Amino acid sequence: MKVTTKEIRVRTRGFTDIIDLTKEVQEIVRESGLREGSVVVFVRGSTASITTIEYEPGLVKKDFAEFLERIAPYDYPYEHHKMWGDDNGSAHLRASLVGPSVVVPFVDGRLLLGTWQQIVLVDFDTRSRDRTVFVQVLGS
């Protein structure tokens, strides 16, 4: 088995900004030269997530953000705000709920994603951020 680790750097706008990383991840898997295995996609930080979604405007620009606003509203008196004078308690909770990583298997160097399933970075923070996403390919 072989392991390679690469980074993707992304500037986000925050506020549930959703960025499609599928092409970059597929390219990293292809460049690894590995035929079969799994790729781990992980974002560093406690106010962003990696997940999969159908990357279409309804979900990406509206539905996903509204869904999470119902679960962890922006405007709520979180203890986190009292502790740090922050306004991003909702971002921390949303990021914990959605999670920091996904694992996607690949065969013949191709990700086994559905046609309408994209790998995305979601930035929940309440400002623009520079994000580092680690892409670790494990396989043979």
The reply on whether position 16 binds Zn ion by CB under 5 A is no
CB distance 119 to 27 below 8 Å: no
SS3 (DSSP) at 64: helix
Q: Which is nearer to Zn ion, 95 or 137 (CB)?
A: 95
Q: How many CB atoms lie within 10 A of CB 27?
A: 13
* Token pair of 89 as six digits: 């308690």
Question: How far, rounded to the nearest angstrom, does the alpha carbon of residue 48 sit from its chain's CA centroid?
Answer: 7
Token reading at 69: 């606003």
Nearer Cβ to Zn ion (57/85): 85
Between residues 100 and 139, which has the closer beta carbon with respect to Zn ion? 100
Q: Could you tell me the smallest distance in angstroms from the CB atom of residue 92 to Zn ion?
A: 6
Q: Which of 86, 87, 98, 109 forms a contact with Zn ion (CB under 5 A)?
A: 86
Q: Report in angstroms how near the CB of residue 91 gets to Zn ion at its nearest.
A: 7
Tokens of 55: 């990357």
Q: Tell me the closest approach of the beta carbon of residue 128 to Zn ion, in angstroms.
A: 15
Kindly state whether residue 88 participates in binding Zn ion, applying the rule CB under 5 A.
Answer: yes
